[in-house]
Chain A
Amino acid sequence: DVKVTQSSRYLVKRTGEKVFLECVQDMDHENMFWYRQDPGLGLRLIYFSYDVKMKEKGDIPEGYSVSREKKERFSLILESASTNQTSMYLCASGRELVGEQYFGPGTRLTVT
């Protein structure tokens, strides 16, 4: 079974703090993704990575950055958290050229 884990289930941060969200997958997948999910807006892609040290912007990259130093680990960084970044953050992984994605349990981030 594919397993994708995320570092925290719930996180509360203050405006202006730097926030790190980590994701690890154990299936040797080439591709990894970060989404946020908000009511009425569905899942929106923030960034994805198709290889170590490679990254591509998704639909809403502003205010975020990512890091992929190892194949199994993909980190999302909020350089200076803002209240409009309060959301559910979901990490996913998948094989190259195959559309199926496997999700982690999500991190509910609240920025106050």
Chain B
Amino acid sequence: RKEVEQDPGPFNVPEGATVAFNCTYSNSASQSFFWYRQDCRKEPKLLMSVYSSGNEDGRFTAQLNRASQYISLLIRDSKLSDSATYLCVVRHSGGYQKVTFGTGTKLQVIP
């Protein structure tokens, strides 16, 4: 089983739609969780951290479910500019800042 698994998509959604991505992780001792965004032919950039109680940043909501070992990202009122690949990232317990990236979920927002 992969350490971090994501549905690769693509998710094709119309502008204004709500879309949700899930990501599962295998290490129950994982400590920190993040969503990154990667535009085509660009480097990944941090979108948001995921906190235990869930957190929101504008149209984006992140949730963590430790019991089921998954995190989710919800995007409301999708914009064309949201088209990108969304990477789920998990930081492991112990050691240094080593993290594992998921392979990403591709989102295409259609006019």
Residues of A within 8 A of B (CB): 31, 35, 40-43, 45, 48, 50, 56, 58, 90, 94-106
Q: Which residues of B contact A35 (CB under 8 A)?
A: 101
A32, closest chain B residue (CB):
B97
Interface contacts (Cβ under 8 Å), in number, total 55
Stretch from B9-17, B38-46, B69-77 that touches the partner? B38-46
Q: Which residues of A contact B31 (CB under 8 A)?
A: 99
Q: Which of A31, A41, A99 contacts B103 (CB 8 A)?
A: A41
Q: Which of A56, A99, A103 contacts B43 (CB 8 A)?
A: A103
Q: Which residues of A contact B102 (CB under 8 A)?
A: 42
Indicate if the CB atoms of B103 and A42 lie closer than 8 Å.
yes
Q: Which residues of B contact A106 (CB under 8 A)?
A: 42-43
Report which residue of A43, A58, A103 has the largest number of chain B beta carbons within 10 angstroms of its beta carbon. A43
The answer for the CA separation of A45 and B49 in the assembled complex, in Å, is 20
| With A48-B96, A99-B89, A106-B43: A43-B101 Cβ-Cβ less than 8 Å | yes
Q: Which residues of B contact A58 (CB under 8 A)?
A: 98
